[in-house]
Structure 1
Amino acid sequence: MSSPLLSPKEEHSLQARHNVRWTVVMWLLIGGIINYLDRANLSIAAPEMMKELGLSKTDIGLLGTVFSWSYALMQLPSGWLIDRFGAKKVYSIAVIWWSLATFMTGAVSKMSSLIGARLLLGIGEAPCFPTAAKITSYWFPKKERGLATGIWDSSSKWGPAIAPPILVFLLISFGWRALFYITGLIGIVFVIFFLIFYKNPEKSRKLSPEERAYIQADGAGTEQGIQQSSIKWRTLFTYRSVWGMILGFFCTIWIWNIFLIFLPLYLVEVHHISLKELGIYASIPWIGGIFGNIFGGYLTKKLADKGIAAPIHAKRMLIGICALAAAVVVVIIPFVHGIVITLTLMTLALCFISAITGSAWALAGDIAPPSMVASVGSIQNFGGYFGGAFSPVVAGMIVDTTGSYVLAFVSGGLIAGCAALCYWLIVKNPIEEKQA
């Protein structure tokens, strides 16, 4: 209700000053979209790259695996670096690194060079989402982190969703190499604006006293470094909940990587979609992912707001239900034949999987002490991508050997379902700081 003492313009200005934290999410969302454009362009360029460079499906799967392994291994130092030296500094260096690696991919002509470029891409992209989790932890109270995380984590679906129509147009107009040149340059432009305009909460002049007090009431509002923690980084691996997050994210990323690398090829080879049609059809399932991310975060916020469940348990419940639903849908996919029902099932699958990833990243803020959110988030991501790195090459080998995608989807669905067991039965208690 409007205040009689304020004009509509003044009231709007006051409301805007009370919602600065939500503008921060937009930086994380845009950066995440660029991050995924730079890893998803391989799946769009794959058919033409296979023709020009003589690559097999196993080769394409191997490129996905190389990225995932380097991305996973760099999670461990990334989290520590972010907590130690600050989110803004590490993130900016990372964006520049992965943008140059993307640009380089368009210039190579041999499998060995492609492997090198994907290796560098994985190293550079590793800090992106741990940084977002860290920034979220000191800009948002715990009850809002699920929704905030769902918004920026939806970038991993916005990227693949908007990539097909845009990149297919560039592919047809300029060739596959242009995809990598253009997406690489976009990242450089973004990081320039980020460096100029993004501020941490303690340095933000736009943050009102009321909003600052609201954020700080739940322990946020200040960037805390790992040097302030009484817990040693290496001892994080001794906590049961951390291992549950590692194993649960592995189960999730296994099927996620199969969709990310092979969804366009599956539509082309099994449903005989033309290259022009691919630009639309390949983007549709990712819309379900966007919805799952945001709506899943909204549900966890509502459960916490109404006192139905504590923030940590709201996220665990959502993950468990969505993991079981994703398992059922993924297993059915290879047994249907119409393009409409296939796209419907893929959309549902990515909706459920995305709700898991968003809640899992937000869960890091509930499990970890404030000074180690990036470290715990990156360790979870390490588990997901190191183990999940096998899925593209395994799926590629299955398809090359059997001539069918059936076993790849059935096994992927069963593994995805195991995420429910990991997050519900193993992830229970937060890590407590030791009192001096």
Structure 2
Amino acid sequence: MQIETKEPVLSTAPKKNWRWTVVIWLIIGGFINYLDRANLSIAAPQMMKDLHLTKTDIGLLGTVFSWSYALMQLPAGWLIDRFGTKKIYSIAVLWWSGATFMMGLFNKLPSFIIVRLLLGAGEAPCWPTGAKITSYWFPKKERGFATGLWDSSSKWGPAIAPPLLVAIMLAFGWRSLFYITGIAGVLFSIAFWIFYKNPEHSRKLSKEEFEYIQSEGAGFEENLVNSKIKWRSLFKYKTVWGMILGFFCTIWIWNIFLVFLPLYLVEVHGVTLQELGVYASIPWVGGIFGAIFGGYLTKKLVDKGITSPVKAKRALISICAILAAIVVIFVPFVDSLAMKITLFTLALCFISAITGSAWALAGDIAPPSMVASVGAIQNFGGYFGGALSPFIAGLIVDKTGSYSLAFISGGIIAGCAALCYWFLVKNPIQERVE
């Protein structure tokens, strides 16, 4: 049943800010989500030694995850918009946590491939859920900043993972990484199911704050039953294809960093396992800053009346894509470890500003009932294309003995995101005559 609501126009934010506590749920979930991805990159050196795996094998596991993750975006977005964020998200966290735990049980590559397929399928609803929850908990002018905060969890995970997971691995072995992170996800899923409430059911929201949330059409979770646009028709919009192609370019280089950064530091610069915990985490601190500051910057541009929410995000994405391309291409041309860490940090700062704004853009572009679907379709494009990058990077390194070509080509592809978001992503999705 659709609830008819008035949309009061409030010029200032209320004194109470309970809505921002919702971001904490999304940060914790995203942090666990990325721990479950980063544990493979940390465990890779020991897995290769113990189980006689190659870099191509490790790259293949990254690719298998990304393909599964990408393909499951399409049903995940539809399921979230159809059956609600709380139900689908709780099931998804249980699913991916179980898959994470199982990674520690096996010894053969075929078994790891199956488990990584399951992990990708289970993790698919995580970010579309965040986009959907943000769309009905925050007015449009705050969604960029809110999204930047919870999207930073995808950088907190890899930033904290190296020192945390390396310490666990040195004490208990590489299998313990998968056991511990799997159990953490199960506990979070139970807590989310028990305690999370939508705005209309929250007893913590004041009347003033609820009216402020409603001021730009938020406040209630809408589903596909209320939509006048058919789900399949989303692929007819140029804006949607711009988001798909732009995220393809962004996630290509993102996946190379996620899968190979620790291994690169160990092999090229002789970083020890004890040192890896520090060196591999530093670049992701730049990612945290980029996600949060990028969202804050778009909020300020809108608050000051300089531009609209959509234009602010498009401009930020385009500028950061160009800067990311320049920085990544320079990586092979510097020799010192300190300089390369600096370039990696800057690159992840710019890339993270792109991903945060891209997820917030889904809430501005899509109808309220289809935010998860549009966000998931964008993510589908990113990870379907990005799925190729770890495998291709692994092949390049195995064949050439160098990471240079992987970084140069990755930087060029990242820069193409600017063309996609600036020239194709312009207009919100509106109903078409079928």
Aligned with 1:37 (options 35, 38, 41): 35
Residue equivalent to 1:61:
59
Deviation at residue 191 of structure 1 after TM alignment: 1.2
Alignment of 1:54-93 (within 5 A): 54-93=52-91
- Post-superposition CA distance 1:35-54 (Å, at most 9, x none): 00001100000000001111
Describe the shift of the 1:375–1:260 C-alpha distance in structure 2 as closer, same or farther (beyond 3 A): same
Describe the shift of the 1:197–1:17 C-alpha distance in structure 2 as closer, same or farther (beyond 3 A): farther
Does the 8 Å contact 1:326/1:353 carry over to 2? Answer: yes
Aligned with 1:309 (options 304, 307, 314): 307
Whole-Å separation in 2 of the counterparts to 1:235 and 1:37: 35
Residue 159 (structure 1) aligned with residue 168 (structure 2): no
Whole-Å separation in 2 of the counterparts to 1:23 and 1:392: 35
Residue equivalent to 1:365:
363
Alignment of 1:141-290 (within 5 A): 141-290=139-288
Using the size of structure 2 for normalisation, the TM-score is 0.96
Secondary structure of 2:208's counterpart equals: helix
Secondary structure of 1:348's counterpart equals: helix
Letter of the 2:139 partner, please give it. Answer: P
Structure 1's unaligned 5+ residue stretches are: 1-14
Letter of the 1:332 partner, please give it. Answer: F
- After TM superposition, the runs of 4+ consecutive aligned structure 1 residues lying more than 3 A away are 433-436
Give the root-mean-square deviation of aligned CA atoms: 1.2
Whole-Å separation in 2 of the counterparts to 1:226 and 1:339: 51
Aligned with 1:133 (options 103, 109, 131): 131
Residue 353 (structure 1) aligned with residue 374 (structure 2): no
Whole-Å separation in 2 of the counterparts to 1:17 and 1:225: 30
Letter of the 2:157 partner, please give it. Answer: G
Residue equivalent to 2:324:
326
Alignment of 1:6-21 (within 5 A): 18-21=16-19
Whole-Å separation in 2 of the counterparts to 1:370 and 1:92: 21
Secondary structure of 2:221's counterpart equals: coil
Whole-Å separation in 2 of the counterparts to 1:267 and 1:16: 48
Alignment of 1:105-124 (within 5 A): 105-124=103-122
Residue 389 (structure 1) aligned with residue 405 (structure 2): no
Describe the shift of the 1:98–1:321 C-alpha distance in structure 2 as closer, same or farther (beyond 3 A): same
Deviation at residue 16 of structure 1 after TM alignment: 9.5
Deviation at residue 336 of structure 1 after TM alignment: 1.0
Structure 2's unaligned 5+ residue stretches are: 1-12
Residue equivalent to 1:26:
24
- Post-superposition CA distance 1:36-74 (Å, at most 9, x none): 000110000000000111100000000000000000000
Deviation at residue 386 of structure 1 after TM alignment: 0.3
Aligned with 2:96 (options 95, 98, 110): 98
Whole-Å separation in 2 of the counterparts to 1:327 and 1:99: 34
Whole-Å separation in 1 of the counterparts to 2:232 and 2:28: 32
Deviation at residue 227 of structure 1 after TM alignment: 1.3
Letter of the 2:286 partner, please give it. Answer: G
Using the size of structure 1 for normalisation, the TM-score is 0.96
- Post-superposition CA distance 1:67-120 (Å, at most 9, x none): 000000000000000000000000000000000000000001000000011000
Deviation at residue 145 of structure 1 after TM alignment: 0.4
Describe the shift of the 1:434–1:401 C-alpha distance in structure 2 as closer, same or farther (beyond 3 A): closer
Letter of the 1:409 partner, please give it. Answer: F
Does the 8 Å contact 1:17/1:207 carry over to 2? Answer: no
Secondary structure of 1:392's counterpart equals: helix
Secondary structure of 1:108's counterpart equals: coil
* Aligned residues with identical type, % of pairs: 75
